[in-house]
A = this chain, B = another copy of it.
Amino acid sequence: MIKTTIDDIAAELGLSKSTVSRAISGKGRISEATRQRVQQCIEQYNYTPSAVARGLAQKRTFNIGVVCPIDYEIFDLQYFHRCLHGISDVASLGGYDILISMIGDRDISNLRRVIENHKADGIILTRTLFDDAAAAYLKQSGLPVVVIGSSPDKDLVQVDNDHLNGCCELTSVLIAKGCRKIALIGGDNTHTVTAVRRRGFELAFEQMGLPLDPSLIYMDTQDERAVGAALEDIVRKKADCVICMDEKLTSYAVTECRHLKIRIPADIKMASFYNSAFLETTTPAITALDIDDRKLGAAAARHLLTMIEGQPSSGELLRSYQVILRESTTLPSAAGR
């Protein structure tokens, strides 16, 4: 089963291969008659052009690279998968495929190989860290790069959800519901989004002109134990609400409340700055900020393709979030159920 090439088609039709090429790509003037003939012959012979050859001729690969951190946990994976979905939608529209590079925190060899071998026309980073080895490497590579999330490096094109205003909005809603002593449990300090979420939280208090008790902010609480300790402290301080920065922390907090016999929302209200399926099925369901990760991925891919075409891009801040209110923050009066 030897592959048919553009020469075969040209020979069969008695045309030159440049004519066939033009008929396929639609570039350059071509009579409608021959274009039809070519089209028909192509289908008959089941001819499909080689992307490799085309790539060599056009100095392109028609691949976009997506970096997948090897240390992604179960919760991150859903985010990643949805981003990928959006990226894939846009990429395939442009005739691009997706090349995945799995990288560790320090070992970015898979990414290097892709860049060095010129196997992708651009790269998307689905998260950024402070002191990000991948981001630093990509920057000096000169290839078009889009990061999803906010990178400390403002030279990189960024596509992000407006976490600042989203978190501010959710916090404001809780304040409006009467919460005054709101605690915040924050995760990984090396992730840039952590800082933004904290800022959004603080912003809500500033906008409402309310005092904020800094001792109610718990940062870098990564594991179950840390969350448990924070929660005990929070209860001791008689906070009326606790917000966790992501669904992992929230799940820890819910479990911990169960252990400590703290009732949600009767004893304390709870909310999450990142929604997930888990939060709607748990008892009680948890109020959360919902973000459309697929849109985020699609936007990133769109910007990357633009840059690959040679046009500049300045990134984008998407407003595709919404506050979803659930039982965990119902008012005391309505907490009869």
Binding site for B on A (CB under 8 A): 1, 3, 48-53, 55-56, 61-63, 66, 68, 70, 72, 74, 77-78, 81, 84-85, 88, 92, 95, 97-102, 109-110, 113-114, 116-119, 142, 224, 255, 276-278, 281, 283
Not counting A62-B117, A97-B100, a sample of 14 additional A-B residue pairs whose C-beta atoms are within 8 angstroms of each other reads: A3-B118, A48-B116, A48-B118, A51-B118, A52-B61, A52-B119, A72-B81, A74-B78, A84-B100, A88-B110, A92-B110, A97-B99, A99-B99, A255-B283
30 pairs from A and B in contact (CB 8 Å cutoff): A1-B142, A48-B116, A49-B117, A50-B118, A51-B118, A51-B119, A52-B52, A52-B55, A52-B56, A52-B61, A52-B118, A52-B119, A62-B117, A63-B99, A63-B119, A68-B81, A68-B84, A72-B81, A74-B77, A74-B276, A77-B78, A88-B100, A88-B110, A92-B110, A97-B99, A97-B110, A97-B114, A97-B117, A98-B99, A255-B281
A102 near B85 (CB under 8 angstroms)?
A: yes
Q: Which residues of B contact A66 (CB under 8 A)?
A: 100
Q: Which residues of B contact A92 (CB under 8 A)?
A: 109-110, 113
Closest to A102 in B: B88
Considering the chains assembled together, what is the distance between the CA atoms of A72 and B278 in angstroms? Answer: 15
Q: Which residues of B contact A56 (CB under 8 A)?
A: 50, 52-53, 56
A81 near B77 (CB under 8 angstroms)?
A: yes
